[in-house]
Amino acid sequence: MHFTKDHEWIRIDGDTATVGISDYAAKALGDVVFVELPQVGDEVEQGGEIAVVESVKAASEVYAPVAGEVTAVNDALEGAPETVNAGPTGEGWFIKMKVSDAGQLESLMSESAYKEYCEGL
């Protein structure tokens, strides 16, 4: 897994990447009550908005860790947004995408670097 400073994660499996928010972000948001996801086929830029998450505390944007094309969205979040809190790096994933520039992964943090980053917040 790789992480951004905005608390998104990305997991690469073959030519598909799964994207979501970190446990740190899910805890900071509090109880998630609504998730707005992009459309399959949408092209996203690295750092571009891919979703909006609303919680009892605030609304927050979710950004693409890398550029690519959205190939799937987690429709289960529409009826059960609390899944983001229960399993942010598992069942609470947001999108799957085809990465257009794998070199962009080099600008992201490893899991250990991300943990260290969060400790400094």
What DSSP assignment string belongs to 44-97? E-TT-EEEEEEESS-EEEEE-SS-EEEEEE-THHHH-TTHHHH-TTTTT--EEE
Between CA 97 and CA 70 the distance in angstroms is: 4
Q: What is the pLDDT of residue 15?
A: 82
Q: What is the pLDDT of residue 101?
A: 92
Q: What is the pLDDT of residue 74?
A: 98
Identify whether 117 is part of a domain: no
Cα angle vertex 52, ends 49, 12, to 5°? 60
| 64: containing domain | 2-101
Identify whether 59 is part of a domain: yes
Q: What is the pLDDT of residue 14?
A: 85
Identify whether 44 is part of a domain: yes
Between CA 117 and CA 96 the distance in angstroms is: 25
Identify whether 121 is part of a domain: no
Identify whether 94 is part of a domain: yes
Between CA 97 and CA 64 the distance in angstroms is: 10
Q: How many domains does the chain have?
A: 1
Identify whether 114 is part of a domain: no
Identify whether 69 is part of a domain: yes
Identify whether 11 is part of a domain: yes
Kindly give the confidence (pLDDT) of every residue in the chain, 121 residues in length, as a single tens digit, with 9 standing for 90 and above: 999 999 999 999 988 999 999 999 999 999 999 999 999 999 999 999 999 999 998 899 999 999 999 999 999 999 999 999 999 999 999 999 999 999 999 999 999 999 999 999 9
Specify the pTM. 0.96
Q: What is the pLDDT of residue 54?
A: 97
Query: Is the distance from CB of 7 to CB of 84 less than 8 angstroms?
Result: no
Q: What is the pLDDT of residue 10?
A: 98
What CATH number should be reported for the domain holding residue 95?
A: 2.40.50.100
Count of CA atoms in the C-beta half-sphere (13 A) of 23? 9
Determine if residue 97 is left, alpha or beta; phi over 0 gives left, psi from -120 to 50 gives alpha, anything else beta.
beta
